Amino acid sequence: MKLTHIEHIGIAVKSLEVAIPFYEEMLGLKCYAVEEVADQKVKTAFFKIGQTKIELLESTDPEGPIGKFIEKKGEGIHHIAFATEEGVQKSLDELAGKGVQLIDKSPRKGAEGLNIAFLHPKSTVGVLTELCEEPGK
């Protein structure tokens, strides 16, 4: 396994309209993209700090994964995403071979066109963990 950096931190928010101004006006970061990922029933807003992004996630459907997360746990950190150098599929295969429970057995498309896959929090000491890579790597 070769992880290179924290690609992004996903934060569940009730409202991008409320959350974006906090990051922009209080923390001085600039929102450079807002994107809806219909598949995941979320609207995302991105900020960059160093090599790492902050990904705000607002649910577009109470039955979606972020809608359910907020109902259960409230707003807050939802997941952490690591960039993997050797590719998501290879990393998943390696982890599965070591007994790690996977949510995604193969990569799918996430926001910003990244290939992503999630590991099950039961196997990651409680933190929903995402692996990602730029496509075509």
The residues binding Zn ion (CB under 5 A) are 10, 81, 130
CB of 91 to Zn ion, least distance (A): 15
State residue 47 phi and psi, 5-degree precision: -130, 150
* Token pair belonging to 53: 């992004």
State residue 41 phi and psi, 5-degree precision: 55, 45
CB of 84 to Zn ion, least distance (A): 13
* Token pair belonging to 65: 């994964």
CA dist 25 to 11, 30, 72, Å? 18, 9, 29
CB of 8 to Zn ion, least distance (A): 6
Which of 75/130 has CB closer to Zn ion?
130
CB of 117 to Zn ion, least distance (A): 10
Which of 10/107 has CB closer to Zn ion?
10
Residue bearing tokens 């991008």 = 16
Which of 81/83 has CB closer to Zn ion?
81
* Token pair belonging to 10: 């996903």
Which of 4/97 has CB closer to Zn ion?
4
Residue whose C-beta lies closest to Zn ion: 10
